[in-house]
Structures are given as structure tokens and as C-alpha cells.
Amino acid sequence: MADINSIGLIELSSVAAGYLVQDTMLKASSIQMLMARTICSGKYLIVVTGDVTSVQAALLAGASVAGASLIERRQISRVHPTVLQAVSQTVDFDATQLRSIGIVETFSAASAIEVADAAVKTADVTLLRVHLAMALGGKGFVLMAGDVSSVQAAVEAGAKAAGDDGMLVGKGVIAAPSRELFRDYI
């Protein structure tokens, strides 16, 4: 497989269609499955990664069999590598270095990934978590950490990315968060 630098998402209104679309995507192109699962409100979310061309081919193939179940299809090319770690919840972070936490909440899983990408490309922050739709009514959120000014800049960039699509629910920056609060976040 070529460089992994693209992420693709398909959200469906049907679990049955979700399995069909997932199979079609895997057979259509050389991609890696990051996530495929049911999400709140009886929907199904598929998140894949790979090179730009492979992800594009998989999304087109998946959308072609989704029919009326297709809610959203989105590709983010040249995604920052730490976004994939945060989606997979494999971020290694030293809690003793915690100075501030930022959060951006979105109306969709796809917009949460765009928020994370914009945030980490704007400022020196560590993406702690990109939470996609589970137990949130289909929404998403991004948690990030760093010094206060970097987190503020990253949150503003992420909020703008979500706001441009009408997907921003809320945002916040917590300077010097309590350790108990931090433990609950990750």
C-alpha cells in the first residue's frame, strides 16, 4: 500500500447497508479499516485509511451500493498522522506535562476528524482523542492538550473548520485542569 495519508468516512442510516457497504469498500481498494460499527440512533459508521486514490475508490464503491441509506461521505486528504492515532485511541501522552486541555464538539463524526486535522496543523498540540459518534447521538468531539496559547489557537482553528460547515456544537479551553478531570477525559 502507498503512503497512508487520507481518511474516508461513510455514515449510513441502516446497519444492514453498513455491512454491505463495508464489504464493498474492502473489496474495491487497498485500504485499512479503522472503524466499522453501529453508532447512536441505529446508524452505521465506516472509517477507512490509505493513500488518497485508494480511499477515494473505496468511498465511491461504498456510496454506489449505499442507496438511500447514505447520510454522509467524506474524504480528508493529507491528514496529519496524529489524527489517525487519536481516532484509534493509541496516543501516548505524559500526563505530568499537561498544561491545558481544549475540546471542540461537532454534530457529525466526519466533522470531528476535520476539526482534529485543522487543530494539529495550526498549533503545537497533542491530540488526545477523536471520539466518533458512540454514545453521543451521532456527534463527535476532539480533545487536545498543550500550552494554553497553542490550545487556544488549535481550538479556534478546529471550531472554524466545524463552523464553516455548520457543524460546531461547542468549544472550550481549560487551563491547568485538575488531574481528576484529565483522568476522565482519556
**If pLDDT is split at 50, 70 and 90, which confidence band does 128 have?**
confident
The mean predicted confidence, pLDDT, of the chain is 85
Mean pLDDT, residues 83-112: 76
Q: Which residue has the cell 453508532?
A: 39
Tens digits of residue pLDDT in 25-69: 999 999 999 888 888 778 898 989 999 999 999 999 999 999 999
Tally DSSP H helices, then E strands, for the chain.
Answer: 6, 8
C-alpha cell at 13: 442510516
- The dihedrals phi and psi of 7, each to the nearest 5 degrees, come to -130, 140
Set out the domains of the chain in order of their start, with CATH numbers: 6-77 (3.30.70.1710), 81-185 (3.30.70.1710)
Secondary structure (3-state) at 186: coil
